[in-house]
């Protein structure tokens, strides 16, 4: 889910108003997708560096940050090294500790390569930290999502991230409420059904009575996809 400072929303008279992505956002989102995809096969730190600079089009600041955070999870980073980095580190650092005063760096790496049973230095220097987050290689997803689909993913992430910070949610439901109640109870939450038209469910955790707590946020956020199965719903969250 999105960190708080990345969620595109503003507070208006005590009410959080999220900025969901619309069709107007698709053009810059497509450019962002293209730009991220361009870094496939390169270290992730280069992609991070590029994303710190502006795109060649206008991008709404907060929406852009949220979209970037969501897309970066699709373009995963993988470790690529000739020798497993932990093994390379152990061999090199142990060889360095055992090396006599005045030993050269090349000599230490040759010693480590010999200890690992690989020829030459076998790219040991490169392998040393190839598993660090910034050194991992960016890999594109099997299917690059079009802008419209990416926008939906970003919107779901925004909604769930806001719910994660809620302590109580009220849901006006049209259709069967039982599956939603069951999901809430299964997650250790308390449900109260208010007789109204349509019926209103209030969902929260027992401890929410004492503190403004985010303890149940994850469980509240997980309920969102189940609501999509009801006929129609309106959800209000209290933080």
Partner 1 sequence: MRLVFDRGTLILREAPPGLDLARLPEARWDPRVSAFRFPACTLEALAGRLRRMGVPFSDEASAGRMGRPAFRTPVGLRPYQRAALAAWEMAGGRGLVVLPTGAGKTRVAFAAIAQARVAALCLVPTRVLVQQWQNVARELTGVDPGIFGDGERAVRPLTIATFESAWRYMDRIGDRFGLLVVDEVHHFGGGVRDESLEMCTAGLRLGLTATPPAPPGSVRLAELVGKTVYELSVADLAGSFLAPFDHLVVHVELEPDERAEYDRLRALFREVFDQFRRFHLGAGWEDFIQEAGRTDEGRRAIAAFHGARKLLAFPRGKRQALARLLATHADARTLVFVADNHTAYGVAREHLVMPLTCDIGRAERERALALFREGKLRALVSAQVLNEGLDVPDAEVGIVVAGRRGEREHVQRIGRVLRPRPGKRALVYELVVRGTSEVREAARRRRAIAA
134: helix, strand or coil: coil
**Is the distance from CB of 45 to CB of 51 less than 8 angstroms?**
no
The dihedral formed by the CA atoms of 160, 162, 163 and 164, expressed in degrees to the nearest 10: 90
Binding site for partner 1 (CB under 8 A): 86, 89-90, 92-94, 96-98, 101, 105, 108, 128-129, 131-133, 188, 190-192, 202, 204-207, 209-211, 213-215
Run of H or E residues at 124? helix 124-127
- Of the two residues 82 and 98, which places its CB atom closer to partner 1 in the complex? 98
Coil, strand or helix: which one is 177?
A: coil
In this complex, which beta carbon is closest to partner 1, that of residue 35 or of residue 202? 202
Between 155 and 164, CB nearer to partner 1: 164
* Min CB(105)–partner 1 separation in Å: 7
Closer residue to partner 1, CB minimum distance, 156 or 172: 172
Pick 2 or 95: Cβ nearer partner 1: 95
Q: What residues form DSSP beta bridges with 10?
A: 17
* Segment (H or E) for 231: none
- Least gap, CB of 232 to partner 1 (angstroms): 25
User: From CA 180, how far away is CA 185, in angstroms rounded?
Assistant: 9
Residues 81/88, Cβ–Cβ less than 8 Å: yes
Q: Beta-strand (E) ranges in the chain?
A: 9-12, 15-18, 77-78, 137-138, 168-174, 190-194, 200-204, 232-238
Nearer to partner 1, 161 or 204 (CB): 204
Task: Extract the tokens encoding 34.
Answer: 């293209």
Minimum distance of partner 1 from residue 45's CB (angstroms): 10
Tokens of 162: 């806001």
């Amino acid at each position: 889910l999105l960190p708080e400072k990345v969620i595109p929303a503003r507070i208006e008279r005590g009410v959080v108003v999220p900025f969901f992505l619309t069709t107007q956002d698709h053009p810059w989102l497509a450019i962002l997708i293209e730009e991220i995809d361009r870094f496939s096969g390169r270290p992730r730190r280069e992609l991070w560096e590029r994303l710190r600079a502006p795109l060649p089009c206008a991008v709404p600041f907060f929406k852009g940050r949220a979209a970037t955070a969501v897309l970066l999870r699709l373009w995963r980073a993988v470790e690529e090294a000739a020798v497993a980095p932990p093994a390379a580190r152990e061999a090199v650092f142990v060889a360095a500790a055992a090396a006599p005063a005045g030993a050269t760096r090349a000599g230490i790496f040759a010693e480590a390569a010999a200890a690992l049973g690989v020829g030459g230095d076998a790219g040991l220097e490169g392998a040393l930290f190839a598993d660090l987050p910034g050194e991992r290689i960016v890999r594109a997803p099997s299917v690059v999502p079009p802008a419209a689909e990416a926008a939906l993913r970003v919107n779901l992430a925004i909604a769930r991230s806001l719910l994660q910070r809620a302590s109580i949610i009220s849901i006006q439901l049209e259709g069967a409420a039982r599956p939603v109640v069951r999901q809430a109870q299964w997650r250790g939450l308390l449900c109260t059904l208010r007789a109204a038209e349509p019926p209103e469910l209030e969902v929260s955790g027992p401890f929410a009575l004492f503190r403004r707590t985010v303890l149940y946020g994850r469980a509240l956020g997980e309920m969102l996809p189940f609501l999509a199965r009801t006929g129609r719903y309106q959800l209000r969250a209290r933080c």
